[in-house]
Amino acid sequence: MPVIKSVYRLCRYRNERKKFVREFSIRKKQDTELASRYESETGKLIVFIVPGSDWATGKDKISGGTMSIVSICEESAQMKNIHGAATIMCTLNRDHLLLRHKMFDNNTPVFRFNQLEKYFDNCHEVLFHLPEFLVKEFYPSLTSGDKRWLDRMDMVHINIMNQNIQLMPAPSIINSLLDFSDKITVTTAHQKYCSVNFRKQYNVPIHKLSVWISPEQYVFRSWEEKENLLVVSPDKHPRKEEVLQELQKMEGLKVQIIQNLTYQQYKELVSRAKWSLTFGEGLDGYLIEPVFSGAVGFAVYNEDFFTPDFADLKTVYPSMDALKQRILYDIRSLDNKDEFTAYQQNQFELCAKYYSKEQYRKNIALFYSGQYTIQ
């Protein structure tokens, strides 16, 4: 049946034919790169799972979550003295292939999962870093060869990367991973859900990794250097349009939704922006990165992501109603050098309290040493 279905799709869909040709080339390059980068005798592996490419275009999908996984992978590769393993990045078997992420700077190739059991036949210990939204898909995606490979392992450790608490699978699904693994942990991107309550709920150790965002990575511009530009996250929201219409009432304010940009283009844009507005998680890159670039960020308080100290910020509103009612007034009141600078520094320092490159690297090292935040 799978063969018949594949033939049908090739005949039926032009994009499927383009994908077939594209992925034939990718497979050859992946096989060559795997042999040139890794020893087949490798005994320990750390495998990062990332989503595949877009079916129609073959391009990688830029997102904060994917960038975070790639960053943690690259940091992990530099810590072999701690974990003693080779580090590799893969897509699941059923996903569309890509060779590299091209929408942001990185040095990490992407392989396909079924290369692992064919190439690393002497591996006896494996750690999978699995994003939360792919947990359900992981085991069903395995081939019989993959399962035999895992059965031979002395240790299979699955770490669920909890980058968005709203996407976490149910505890029962997490517990089901013990049917084919020896150890489960959860790492978090946010302080808010690295807690004793979640440790009890999931019944596995929890460790805060944080994310790759930190102040020194951005071009900071002062109030005088900024354009009267408000950048808006691309997130969908049922009340987004009415808020954007409200913003149009302010003369001289330019509003730009962030879309169709590489990461470097995005960073350049937010360095020029005086204001930012996120319709996403609230405590996300569309708030933090502009703040680290010298902007004032606007958001609605989301208790799943924000720690309580963010609720004291005047531009982090208790509801979407409050945001709509107050955002123009707050922009006007803050749009002078003294008020803007003082408030922006307050936002900056609060974000920097939780997002530090030094602490981020330390957290990763502690994870591989088995020193989890909540055992």
Dihedral (CA of 289, 294, 297, 301) sign: positive
Query: Length of the chain in residues, anyone?
Result: 375
Q: How far apart are CA 269 and CA 258, in angstroms?
A: 9
pLDDT at 214: 86
DSSP state of 96: P
CA distance 228 to 346: 20
Q: Would you tell me how many other CB atoms lie within 10 Å of the CB of residue 63?
A: 14
Question: What domains does the chain contain, in order, with CATH numbers?
Answer: 39-212+357-368 (3.40.50), 215-354 (3.40.50.2000)
Phi, psi of 128 (to 5 degrees): -100, 125
CA distance 276 to 318: 17
Do residues 313 and 273 touch, judged by C-beta distance below 8 A? no
- Asked whether the beta carbons of 113 and 92 are under 8 A apart, the reply is yes
Q: What is the pTM of this model?
A: 0.80
The one-digit pLDDT tens for each residue of the chain (375 residues) are: 555 555 555 566 666 677 667 888 899 999 999 999 999 999 999 999 999 988 778 788 777 789 899 999 999 999 999 999 999 999 999 888 999 998 888 889 999 999 999 999 999 999 999 999 999 999 999 999 999 999 999 999 999 999 988 899 999 999 999 999 999 999 998 888 888 988 999 999 999 988 888 898 899 999 999 999 999 999 999 999 999 999 999 999 999 999 989 889 999 999 999 999 999 988 999 999 999 999 999 999 999 889 999 999 999 999 999 999 999 999 999 999 999 999 999 999 999 998 888 888 999 999 999 999 998
How far is C-alpha 137 from the geometric centre of its chain's CA atoms? 18
Instruction: Determine the Cα–Cα distance for residues 26 and 184; give it in Å rounded to an integer.
Output: 32
In DSSP terms, which residues pair with 90 in a beta bridge?
A: 49, 111
HEC-encoded secondary structure of 141-181: HCCHHHHHHHHCCCEEEEEEEECCHHHCCCHHHHHHHHHCC
